[in-house]
Amino acid sequence: DGGITQSPKYLFRKEGQNVTLSCEQNLNHDAMYWYRQDPGQGLRLIYYSQIVNDFQKGDIAEGYSVSREKKESFPLTVTSAQKNPTAFYLCATSARGDHEQFFGPGTRLTVL
């Protein structure tokens, strides 16, 4: 069953703790993306990666970090430096040369 998996669906953390969100895909897509969705603000790009071992900052990268050691995986770490981490986080992928993006189910992070 091809697709994008994000886990967990809901995540709670205490303020000051780092937390890592998982994104795995078996679509064999080269590019992967992380977005943050907040009410009334649409989706904003955090980081993206077009190939393994390479990634670029998006529009709101401060307080986040990523790695791309495998084609299938693009984990996002929300660090304690992120001022307002509570949000819905979406992972997306796209095939080489194709600009349509496919989205995972998302992880809702709540920092208490």
What does the CA dihedral 26, 47, 96, 4 come to, rounded to 10 degrees?
20
Closest separation between CB of residue 76 and another protein, Å? 17
Nearest to another protein of 14, 99 (CB atom): 99
Closest separation between CB of residue 41 and another protein, Å? 6
How many whole angstroms separate alpha carbon 9 and alpha carbon 77? 15
Nearest to another protein of 5, 80 (CB atom): 5
Joined tokens for residue 7? 């886990």
Give the list of residues 6+ apart from residue 42 with CB closer than 8 angstroms, or none. Answer: none
Residues of the chain by 3-state class (helix, strand, coil), percent to 5 = 0, 55, 45
Closest separation between CB of residue 80 and another protein, Å? 27
Which residues are near another protein by CB under 8 A?
33, 35, 40-45, 48, 50, 58, 90, 92, 99-106
Nearest to another protein of 35, 64 (CB atom): 35
Q: Residue 100 carries which DSSP code? A: -
Closest separation between CB of residue 92 and another protein, Å? 8
Nearest to another protein of 11, 45 (CB atom): 45
